[in-house]
Amino acid sequence: MRWQLSALILFVISFLVISCANDQDIEFKRAYSAGEVVYTQHCQNCHGNNGEGLSALMPPLTDSVYLKQNKTQLACIIKFGLKDKLVIVSGKPYQNQMPPADLAPIEISQVLTYVKNSFGNKMGVVKVEDVNKDLGDCK
Amino acid sequence: MRNLFYALICVLALSACNNSASQKMLPIYGNREASTKTVDGKTVTDTIYQTIPKFNFINQYGDSISNKSLDGNIYVADFFFTTCPSICPVMHRNMLNVYKEFKNVGNFKIVSYTIDPKHDSVDVLKKYADKLGVTGNNWLFLQGQKEETYKLAKGYMVEAREGNVHDGYFILVDKQKRIRGSYLGTDPAEVTKMIADIKTLQAEPDQNIAQ
């Protein structure tokens, strides 16, 4: 009897602990860890393990101001790449070609969540609905 | 007890001898053949090692660079192209550390051959070097005929072929143009080992003879 009781108490406590972590937090963590996988496969070679970029060839991903100012463009840049376009990141010019990455909107939202919350950035989760909206407005 | 003590002394003395006798040498890679000659009535056998074949390419400044231009240098070679999105940025991120380490050391060079000469003109290579932060003549970006480049890659014992296919090895070449090491350029740990090996090679007596 005593054994059953303590098992029940343990179950109740663990249930409480799990439900304490709220849904938003779980959603963020899920997107972040999935985004890390996408980043490793599609972005890391050029932009580096720590988003540091490569000299004046590849821009770093550490410029929160750039990420904020170009918020609605980021999904388009990832999906279609960049060609002959000058971008100013952390006050430095970059004009290298960026190849398009054939990613689904959900993957784009995941990798953006990862980038925007790594390398010193802290900008919260990127929702797939927003990515879909931004992709519809690509120039 | 006393016997044990003497035994210990013996072992220590032996190991001390071993340490001082074995100076670290890098291996010599590639095919080798024996050449037997008669010098002053005596038969002498020499080992002929595989060496890097002749080439004549153009660097990022538009100057002609041949195998002769590299005489008297220890150098590291790799094959790449500037628009490569996969392993090249990683290779050159790591190579940049090698460049910085030996920037002020004479008789050392880095040689990167483009396997896409159609796109990678002298002008494109110069811009690439500038953006990478490479100045001077320590790191050469070379452009030559495509077929010549593929053939030369075989001389370095690496792969480069049609469709911009190449592997990511850094090849360490000594002053006698023999291959002394190959390192996966995409792995920072291997590149760190290469930096150590270059220093070992520089210390070899053979490498200090004026060529």
pLDDT in tens, A112-121: 999 999 999 9
**What CATH number is attached to the domain comprising B99?**
3.40.30.10
Output the pLDDT for position A129. 96
Report the complex ipTM: 0.76
pLDDT at A42 over 80: yes
End-to-end CA distance of chain A: 69
Percent of chain A with pLDDT over 70: 94
Contact between B112 and B74 (Cβ < 8 Å): no
pLDDT at A10: 79
pLDDT in tens, B73-122: 999 999 999 998 789 999 999 999 999 999 998 899 999 999 999 999 99
Q: Name the H helices within chain B.
A: 2-21, 88-101, 122-132, 146-155, 188-203
Residue B102 falls inside a structural domain: yes
Number of domains in chain B: 1
Q: Are A33 and A89 spatial neighbours (Cβ–Cβ below 8 Å)?
A: no
pLDDT tens for B117-176 read: 999 999 999 999 999 999 999 999 999 999 999 999 999 999 898 888 888 999 999 999
- Collect all residues of chain A within an 8 Å Cβ-Cβ radius of residue B81: none
Chain A: residue nearest B83 by CA? A97
Residue at B37 is within a domain: no
**Does the residue A6 lie in any domain?**
no
In a domain, A33, yes or no: yes
Contact yes or no for A55 and B89 at CB 8 A: no
In the sheet with B139-142, reading across from the earlier edge strand, the strands are: B139-142, B108-114, B74-80, B169-173, B179-184
Residue B17, marked binder: no
Which residues, including other chains, have CB under 8 Å from residue B53's CB and lie 6 or more apart? B67, B151, B152, B155
Determine which of A54, A61, A86, A87 to mutate to test the interface with B (most B C-beta atoms within 10 Å). A54
Residues from B in contact with A at Cβ < 8 Å: 83, 85-87, 89-90, 92-93, 96, 128, 130-133
User: Does B6 fall in a domain?
Assistant: no
Would you state the pLDDT for residue A18?
64
Q: Read off the pLDDT of residues B27-50 as tens digits, 9 standing for 90 and up.
A: 999 999 998 888 888 888 889 999
Band of pLDDT at residue B209, cut at 50, 70 and 90? low
Which residue has better confidence, A8 or B175? B175
Residue B130 lies in domain: 51-204
Angle between helices A105-115 and A23-42 (to 10 degrees): 100
Q: Which chain B residues are within 8 Å of A97, Cβ to Cβ?
A: 83
User: Which residue segment(s) compose the domain that A123 sits in?
Assistant: 27-136
The confidence score (pLDDT) of residue B17 equals 53
The DSSP bridge partners found for residue A93 are A88
What pLDDT does A11 receive?
78
Question: Testing the interface with B: which of A46, A78, A97 to mutate, by most B Cβ within 10 A?
Answer: A46
The total number of structural domains that make up chain A: 1
Residue A18 counted as domain residue:
no
CATH number of the structural domain spanning residue A123: 1.10.760.10
Per-residue pLDDT at B204 exceeds 60: yes
**Partners of B108 in the β-ladder:** B74
